[in-house]
Amino acid sequence: MAFEQSAKKNFPHWPIWDDDDIKAVTDVVKSGKWWIGAPAVHKGENAWKLEEEFAKFHEAKHCLCAANGTVTLEACLGAFGVGLGDEVIVSDYTFVATGTAVVASNAVPIFCDIDPETLVMDVDKVEKLITPRTKAIIPVHLGGNPVAMDHLMEIADKHNLKVIEDCAHAHGSRFKGKRVGNWGHCGSFSQQASKVLTSGEGGLITCNDDKLATDIYSYIDAGRHIGDYFYAHYSYGSNFRISEFNAAVCRAQLKKFPVQHKIRNEHAKYLTEKLNEIDGVRAMKLTPGTEESGWYVFPVVFDLKKFKNIKVREIFKKMNDAGIPTDDCYPPLHGLALFKDVKLKKGIDYSKANWGGAKSADKNFPVVTDIYKRSIEFPQEMLLADPDKLDWVVDFIKKLK
């Protein structure tokens, strides 16, 4: 196939930008207003407009922007008063920030194993992890695949726990009639360079409670109140503000998002059907009730026995050598050096964590350990490729047998 010769350059590259993005940045440069400004003065600039536009798009009452999708988690935890002596249940299969945001708040993350088919937090395992110290849960919509939020909220409500949805992969995801980020008490989004909505760096928080929105704002902006005097500081808050440059690019990208999102959803459905026809290959299953997914990544799980017991690293290498954009999956958090060796914060008691030393043994997290050993993932931009290229990828995988 001619396509095979030059596969690499035939797959879309990310980010996708045009003159609107250039204009967005130059307009900020020329305006001389490079930061979001004092809360009482600059309303109407890019950061504030981005909040309005994203709130509308994600069907939330409030949206607050911040510097990235790590500090958004920290701000939500801070607004809930999560701190010393508290525990927060997080998925074991996620980017490290979901766990370290909890560490930053002086609380202890508790890792929850995943469902072998949907690859997101196994909600049935959450209740066993709840202790009198548990204050919050952070479900992660991995690859845009929503956690079963109806079920999770029942558990959270029963135990009076706060829920922060980590939506870093899930811009545009919709579950049972509601966009993600509206099921829990708040939703945290990342606009880092690889994400489906990007401005290089950036974060957004959605919520539907007026008081919570005010508290989160204060945490992001030095303990200030929106509309109030610049040097009035009412509570502890950091500087997690986004810059006007990032906000302006994010607004330009948000305009392009709906078309890309639709293509990713259509192509993911197509690719899932094709891959699942191969004996020994399984695409991530969307949680029943999912209507749209952000599709930040497209995980593929192999039954390696059906592939002559090839190592997953070998599959990864062959695909990359052939020019197929292929990524590593996240190593489960319980095995990362910082958690296993407990290289964390001074003075905090981590002894009741369900990780660290012998407790970090893979056998204690059997599902995620097994899945991680036999998975690869495609980055979201591959889903923007034409279907004939996706066919070519499917054929390539068939030939690995």
Ligand X SMILES: *Cc1c(COP(=O)(O)O)cnc(C)c1O
Per CB under 6 A, which region of 94-102, 174-182, 269-277, 312-320 contacts ligand X?
94-102
Decide: 164 and 141 in contact? Cβ < 8 Å: no
Choice between 69 and 187, CB closer to ligand X: 69
Asked if 240 and 66 touch (Cβ cutoff 8 Å), the reply is yes
Identify the three-state secondary structure at position 214: helix
Q: Which of residues 100-159 bind ligand X (CB under 6 A)?
A: 140
98 scored as a contact of ligand X (CB under 6 A): yes
Gap between the Cα atoms of 336 and 113, Å rounded:
15
* Tokens representing residue 152 in the block: 């999770």
Note whether 181 binds ligand X by CB under 6 A.
no
Stretch that binds ligand X, among 90-98, 157-165, 173-181, 275-283 (CB under 6 A): 90-98
Q: Report the site for ligand X in 314-343 (rule: CB under 6 A).
A: none
Q: Applying CB under 6 A, what is the total number of residues that bind ligand X?
A: 14
Q: Which stretch binds ligand X (CB under 6 A): 89-97, 124-132, 305-313, 366-374?
A: 89-97
Reduce the DSSP state of residue 26 to 3 states and report it.
Answer: helix
C-beta closer to ligand X: residue 203 or 325: 203
For residue 262 the two structure tokens come to 């639709």
Residue of 58, 62, 162, 169 that binds ligand X (CB under 6 A): 169
Backbone angles phi, psi at 10, to 5 degrees: -90, -10
Q: Does 215 bind ligand X (CB under 6 A)?
A: no
What is the footprint of ligand X within residues 191-210 (CB under 6 A)?
192, 203
Taking alpha carbons only, the member of 179, 177, 188 closest to residue 72 is 188
Map the footprint of ligand X across residues 261-300, applying CB under 6 A: none
Crossing angle between the packed helical segments 244-276 and 387-398, to the nearest 10 degrees: 50
Q: Minimal distance in Å, beta carbon 194 to ligand X?
A: 8
DSSP state for residue 140 in the 8-state scheme: B
Show Cβ contacts of residue 27 under 8 Å, excluding neighbours closer than 6 positions.
248
Pick from 46, 68, 287, 380 the residue near ligand X by CB under 6 A: 68
Residues that bind ligand X (CB under 6 A): 68-70, 94-95, 97-98, 140, 166, 168-169, 190, 192, 203
